[in-house]
Chains A and B, each alone.
Chain A
């Protein structure tokens, strides 16, 4: 598809029984580009996210990383291609502490294969302090932590391991204004480092502020793509609702 794209999705479809959740979606993200995916609940955003992060395979279509077709059988496959996801649900194990969640599935080990708990605690602590300097009490089950702290763990572990494409599914939905601003800062910082970001959000104002391109999904199809600096809130909202653009005079085409 696009030259120099980090990741291309080509003609992705997904059926669940008789329901066609995605009907041939094309999407690409380049390095250092923030692409926002917007649309109503049920438009297919989450399904697309889960396909790209390897939770389940598409019914048809192709995922290309650096132009080469790949097949993910699990999220650990996607991680091998430096695709990391911050899920809306955060996907944390509530009974484990922050370092355990941080390194879940890629634990640091000693020479004999035992958990290197000390090193993991140190690294996690450092990574979490980078995001939130007040977040130091990390060795307790995450179920005892605040929404912002839990979010910080999910974000920190996604960006710690050589990420090239970061998928953020509603990263600010559970956060207050201050924390939302921190996430916005983080997105800008990662973008400057050349990381591609796929941002899924309900908040159109956020999206306009942070994204380079906006892709609108409706009923499992891409109904429009906009350049963030050439559009406005009304146009995006209208496209989400009607699935098409307004005319210059405001009339529906």
Chain B
């Protein structure tokens, strides 16, 4: 299958390129310092889980705006369940994320609601529930194993987990029938249905995967911060979408790859990291990410129009 390489390599050059950014970053003091690289690895690892889920949802022709809220919920759920042990905490987060993904997927498939609206509603509901449960205050989790999960030397554990998850997602997409079906559903849902694929079921599974990964990312974030905060992840859906789009995913579905998403993630991660190093205020950082997303969508529109057929 050709999708593995061509759109990704193409987009790496057509769209904001990673290599020039890295070269540029060389001139920023401290970018290549070990401390900063570690910070970078930490910051992209939680987002990376979410980008993997987002990419899979987008390949199947959907979108998931709820990932940030689900991440916050996952972190809180994990910390709350921590007294029962780290495994129940992780399972609790995964199940909570999976359920919210199941609800999003059901709204999108059975009720035929536009994915942006469905997951926007889910985002607000999940965020509201998390804020209500915590009374808007962070919950503190001081379990040694849990806090250790937030560390890792020389590479953060979260980073290693992200690499494993990305590899698994890649195998799922390219070497399992399920992934091939996701591409087919994203390209032409009706054709996929006529071919006998279980379209609704597959789409619901995509949203469940995205939800579970977002919640798990929330748990890793809580482990790093030592608290489960109900307010984290406000910008996450946008940065994740930007990374996925740079990586070759399309709002129209049927395109994208995990390797591409990893490149997109590195690009967005480096961009934010460099802005932090340069002391760019967070409001301007938001404007930059928003502008980037806007530019990506415009470029995507142009690419679609330029494409034959």
**Which residues of A does B touch, CB under 8 Å?**
53-55, 74-76, 78-79, 85, 87, 89-97, 100, 104-105, 107, 109, 113-115, 117, 139-141, 143-144
Q: How far is the CB of B188 from chain A (nearest CB, A)?
A: 6
Asked if A141 and B176 make an inter-chain contact with CB atoms under 8 angstroms apart, the answer reads no
A104 and B184 in contact, given A95-B254, A95-B255 (Cβ under 8 angstroms): yes
Q: How far is the CB of A201 from chain B (nearest CB, A)?
A: 19
Q: How far is the CB of A159 from chain B (nearest CB, A)?
A: 15
Residues of chain A with a CB closer than 8 A to B197's CB? 76, 104-105
B141-186 interface with A by 8 A CB criterion: 171, 174-177, 180-181, 183-184, 186
B33 interface contact, C-beta 8 A:
no
A75 and B191 in contact, given A97-B1, A100-B1, A109-B177 (Cβ under 8 angstroms): no
Specify the chain A residue showing the minimal Cβ separation from B192: A93
Q: Which one, A54, A117, A143, contacts B309 given CB within 8 A?
A: A143
Asked if B3 and A87 make an inter-chain contact with CB atoms under 8 angstroms apart, the answer reads no
Asked if A91 and B180 make an inter-chain contact with CB atoms under 8 angstroms apart, the answer reads no
Asked if A115 and B194 make an inter-chain contact with CB atoms under 8 angstroms apart, the answer reads no
B136 interface contact, C-beta 8 A:
no
A75 and B196 in contact, given A95-B187, A96-B187, A100-B1 (Cβ under 8 angstroms): yes
A78 to B308 alpha-carbon distance, docked (Å): 34
A55 and B184 in contact, given A95-B254, A139-B2 (Cβ under 8 angstroms): no
Asked if A93 and B196 make an inter-chain contact with CB atoms under 8 angstroms apart, the answer reads no
Q: How far is the CB of A199 from chain B (nearest CB, A)?
A: 18
Please count the residue pairs between chain A and chain B whose beta carbons lie under 8 angstroms apart in the complex: 92
Specify the chain A residue showing the minimal Cβ separation from B177: A107
A141 and B191 in contact, given A96-B180, A104-B181, A114-B175 (Cβ under 8 angstroms): no
Could you name 15 residue pairs across A and B whose Cβ atoms are closer than 8 Å?
A54-B196, A55-B193, A74-B198, A75-B196, A91-B188, A93-B195, A94-B254, A95-B184, A95-B186, A96-B180, A97-B1, A104-B197, A113-B176, A115-B175, A115-B177
B 54-83 binary contact with A (CB < 8 Å = 1; else 0): 000000000000000000000000000000
Residues of chain B with a CB closer than 8 A to A104's CB? 180-181, 184, 192, 195, 197
Asked if B2 and A97 make an inter-chain contact with CB atoms under 8 angstroms apart, the answer reads yes
Q: How far is the CB of A98 from chain B (nearest CB, A)?
A: 10
Asked if A89 and B181 make an inter-chain contact with CB atoms under 8 angstroms apart, the answer reads no
Q: How far is the CB of B304 from chain A (nearest CB, A)?
A: 12
Q: Which one, A74, A79, A95, A117, contacts B3 given CB within 8 A?
A: A95
Residues of chain A with a CB closer than 8 A to B187's CB? 93-96
Interface of A is mostly: loop
Q: How far is the CB of B90 from chain A (nearest CB, A)?
A: 25
B 278-309 binary contact with A (CB < 8 Å = 1; else 0): 00000000000000000000000000000011
Specify the chain B residue showing the minimal Cβ separation from A77: B196
Name 14 extra pairs, CB < 8 A, besides A76-B197, A94-B187, A97-B2. Answer: A93-B183, A93-B191, A93-B195, A95-B183, A95-B187, A96-B1, A96-B180, A96-B183, A96-B187, A104-B197, A105-B195, A113-B176, A113-B177, A117-B1
Residues of chain A with a CB closer than 8 A to B176's CB? 113-115
A202 to B190 alpha-carbon distance, docked (Å): 23
Residues of chain B with a CB closer than 8 A to A87's CB? 194
Q: How far is the CB of B179 from chain A (nearest CB, A)?
A: 8
Q: How far is the CB of B267 from chain A (nearest CB, A)?
A: 23
Residues of chain A with a CB closer than 8 A to B2's CB? 97, 139-141
Specify the chain B residue showing the minimal Cβ separation from A87: B194
Q: Which one, B175, B177, B188, contacts A93 given CB within 8 A?
A: B188
A75 to B193 alpha-carbon distance, docked (Å): 8
A91 to B255 alpha-carbon distance, docked (Å): 18
Asked if B309 and A76 make an inter-chain contact with CB atoms under 8 angstroms apart, the answer reads no
Asked if A55 and B194 make an inter-chain contact with CB atoms under 8 angstroms apart, the answer reads yes
Residues of chain A with a CB closer than 8 A to B309's CB? 94, 143
Residues of chain B with a CB closer than 8 A to A105's CB? 181, 195-197
Asked if A91 and B195 make an inter-chain contact with CB atoms under 8 angstroms apart, the answer reads yes
A70 to B254 alpha-carbon distance, docked (Å): 34
A92 to B180 alpha-carbon distance, docked (Å): 13
Residues of chain A with a CB closer than 8 A to B181's CB? 104-105
Q: How far is the CB of B204 from chain A (nearest CB, A)?
A: 15
A100 to B181 alpha-carbon distance, docked (Å): 9
Specify the chain B residue showing the minimal Cβ separation from A144: B308
Residues of chain A with a CB closer than 8 A to B175's CB? 114-115
A79 and B1 in contact, given A89-B191, A94-B187 (Cβ under 8 angstroms): no
Q: How far is the CB of A205 from chain B (nearest CB, A)?
A: 28
A113 to B181 alpha-carbon distance, docked (Å): 14
Residues of chain A with a CB closer than 8 A to B180's CB? 96, 100, 104, 107, 115
A75 to B2 alpha-carbon distance, docked (Å): 28
A90 to B198 alpha-carbon distance, docked (Å): 18
B 182-225 binary contact with A (CB < 8 Å = 1; else 0): 01101110111111111000000000000000000000000000
